[in-house]
Structure 1
Amino acid sequence: MLCEAVFRTEDLPGADRFDFWREQVGRTHAPLDLRSEYAADYRAHQRVLALGAVHMWPTTHQSLTYRRTPRLIRQSDPESFHIGIPLKGTNRSAFDDQKEVYGAHYIQLFDSSRPVEVTCSNGAEPFQGIGIEVPKALLHLPHDSMDRMFGQAVCGSDGIGALLVQFVTRLAADTSSYQPCDGPRLGTVLVDLLSALFEHTLDADRVLPPETRTRTLVHRIRAHVQRNLHDPQLTPVSIAAAHHISTSYLHRLFQGEDETVAAWIRRQRLERACRDLADPAMCATPIHSIAARWGFPRAADFTRAFRGAYGLPPKDFRRQALRAATVN
């Protein structure tokens, strides 16, 4: 049988279970901030299979949200990739201002050096999945390529993805026919499958027509801006950095548009502020609060921009809009 450790929260008093689970997950993967509505009496079970430098852990647990924060990364970074595969339930992840939801048999990659928040849930039923920890040095793929894979998921129902899911689920189901010395060999097979899967995925992305890649990138950038209009630090520089492109390339992407990136951001913010100022339900909200809500921390800057766009100051616009709403 392979070298294996088993952890069950049921072996502890209810009040100690969630803290124990936090410590165990921190040792298995990396220090994490955990939250769960079931924390008062947490039910979880985990097996850790040692496959040489690679570790695989089948797990069953109640719904859970974990966060890998910049502070925790500074505290400890094992320089590893974590691959999560839900078997029953979903992974909802938030990273780099993106949000993704993946269900059973989707293979998702995370980096211990980058912040992320993931919610593993299966409603009222236990979540089941398999985690894999791989030292970065073992996956011989370019760093920028792996950056593009971060948080993304690959379908595990066909092709190389299906081979990987079948391999790990069969291995997790029965290790009785293996000897401890087989662990490193199986780890090598697992790393080879992961490398093949990620190389295949990256190659498929590279063969997309350039126009398709450009349209997809512009769509992602627009969605990123819409989600972050409240942030006064949202600038072309920060947008380019979030998408791993240069600022000059970002401006080239928008050359065919009617306005520059900065002008488009400003217009989006002003349109939302305008909507809030005209909303009777927000009539008691101070104008400076609405301005700050949409990325204008300085009231004078907001007033100047608003007057330039709509021809009158925010206070007068609000008065006229609310009066018209009352009449109608």
Structure 2
Amino acid sequence: MTFILDTREVAPSDREEAIREVIWGSVVRVEIDHHRDPERIAAWGRIGDVAGVNICTIRSNATTIRRTPALVNDDLEPSVFVSLQRSGTSAVIQGDRQAILHAGDLAVYDTEQPYVLLNDGGIDLHYFRIRQRDLGLSPDAVAAVTAVRLGAGDPVAELAAGHLRRLAEAQGRLTVRQAQLLAPPTLDLLRAALTSVLGDDRASAQPWGAVLEARIFEFVRENLTDHGLTPARIAHAHGISLRRLYAVMAGAGVNLAPWIRDQRLAHARRLLIAPSADRLTIEAVARRSGFVSAAHFSRVFKTAYGLSPRDWRNDKLPGHRTPAAGRMTPPAR
């Protein structure tokens, strides 16, 4: 979903707060210095996500953006920003380094550390926020590349900048499938640019295969309760073929279907002995664990643990009596 910010549609007295609300809620928590005259506060932005990459294109007459030590302690997942200068100049300051950007230049900064962005002539940039675990950078690599200008004269940085610019311009027109297909090459190209700047392999501490593997495991865990969680859907969600999916899992020593089944069984066991267990029928536990029916769940559970789900729960919770199907009390909302 793409969101458009346009202060021309906002009353002058509300513009500063409207910008703050959008940026804090959709991009990152920062303090922004605006024009003192509310009538002259101006900003236009397009904000959205493309396959896990948050993209924010902004034109504004704001001058300074700060991520303060207090804001660094928010609950944002550790991420890096890549800023791409569209026109004019700006400065990225983090730690003891400062990068001066001209049109077409890139710079990286870390959301886990305070930073300042200076835009004396106003803001005209694309910002890309990428989770560190997706990018696969080691902490040392992140620290080594923050507030470093990546620009003209570096062919890999130029390729990355051109790709990111076109990705931002295509935002809102890409299908979900197209966005998923673009995620791996986008991350690979950016990591290549950073590795090139470092001059060694520190940025490659976590190769793309390992990043993809971690993303697949996380996706499965987040979608265990979905009966439609199939290898085809997992592959589709990550923009890879079934063959590639099985190869990645084999490289991790995982047989996908049995692993999903085991994860669902582990989830079911937690539900069976949860504090709210007395409100759940076996059918409800099966449904909330991603099994298509209570009968199928019971067969799989007994094969794995030697007891039916009902007997296993009664064994673990002496004195407990599993409610009969159709008499479940709905959980509190």
**TM-score w.r.t. structure 1 length?**
0.56
Describe the shift of the 1:75–1:158 C-alpha distance in structure 2 as closer, same or farther (beyond 3 A): closer
In the other structure, the counterpart of 1:113 is 112
1:91 paired with 2:90, answer: yes
Aligned twin of 1:139:
135
| 2:193 pairs with one of 176, 192, 197 | 197
Counterpart of 2:150 in structure 1: which amino acid?
Answer: V
- 1:155-187 deviation line (CA, Å, top 9, x unaligned): 156411111222222233345763232122223
Q: Which runs of 5+ in 1 are unaligned?
A: 207-328
Q: Distance in 2 between matches of 1:103 and 1:58?
A: 16
Aligned to 1:37: 35
- Per the TM alignment, residue 76 of structure 1 is displaced from its structure 2 partner at its CA by 3.4
Contact 1:51–1:185 (CA under 8 A) maintained in structure 2: no
What secondary structure is seen at the aligned counterpart in 1 of 2:174?
coil
Q: Which residue of 1 aligns with 2:15?
A: 17
- Distance in 1 between the 2:73 and 2:35 partners? 28
Q: How many residues align?
A: 201
Say whether the 8 Å CA contact 1:93–1:119 is kept in structure 2. yes
The residue type paired with residue 2 of structure 2 is E
Task: Give the CA RMSD over aligned residues.
Answer: 2.3
Q: Is the 8 A contact 1:6 1:45 kept in 2?
A: yes
Deviation per residue, 1:253-294 (Å, 9 max, x gap): xxxxxxxxxxxxxxxxxxxxxxxxxxxxxxxxxxxxxxxxxx
Give 1:26's aligned residue.
Answer: 24
- The alpha-carbon distance between structure 1 residues 190 and 156, as it changes in their structure 2 partners (threshold 3 A), is farther
TM-score (norm 2): 0.55
Cα gap change, 1:37 to 1:167, in 2 (>3 Å)? same
Aligned sequence identity (%): 18
User: Aligned in 2, Cα 1:13/1:53: closer, same or farther, shift over 3 Å?
Assistant: same
Secondary structure of the equivalent of 1:47? strand
Equivalents in 1 of 2:200, 2:45: separation in Å? 35
Q: What per-residue deviation string (whole Å, max 9, x for no partner) do you get for residues 73-114 of structure 1?
A: 123333110111111122223332444422221111011100
| Structure having greater relative contact order (Cα 8 Å, sep ≥ 6) | 1
User: Is the CA contact 1:32–1:69 (under 8 Å) kept in the aligned structure 2?
Assistant: yes
The 3 A distance-change label for structure 1 pair 205 and 64 is: farther
CA contact 1:86–1:104 (8 Å) conserved in 2: yes
**What does 1:208-223 align with in structure 2 at a 5 Å threshold?**
none
Tell me how far apart the structure 2 counterparts of residues 178 and 16 of structure 1 sit (CA, whole Å): 32
- Cross-structure match for 2:241: none
Which residue of structure 2 aligns with residue 160 of structure 1?
A: 156
Residue 101 of structure 2 is aligned to residue 102 of structure 1: yes
Contact 2:30 2:67 in 1 (8 A): yes
**2: CA distance, partners of 1:165 / 1:136:** 19
Distance in 2 between the 1:194 and 1:177 partners?
22
Provide the secondary structure at the position in 2 that maps to 1:25: helix
CA contact 1:156–1:165 (8 Å) conserved in 2: no
In the alignment, structure 2 segments of 5+ residues that lack a partner are 203-333
Name the CA distance, whole Å, in 1 between partners of 2:90 and 2:79.
Answer: 19
Q: Give deviations 1:48-86, integer Å, cap 9, x for gaps.
A: 232121112222111321111111112333311011111
Give the residue type in structure 2 aligned to 1:63: A
- The CA deviation at 1:39 is 5.8
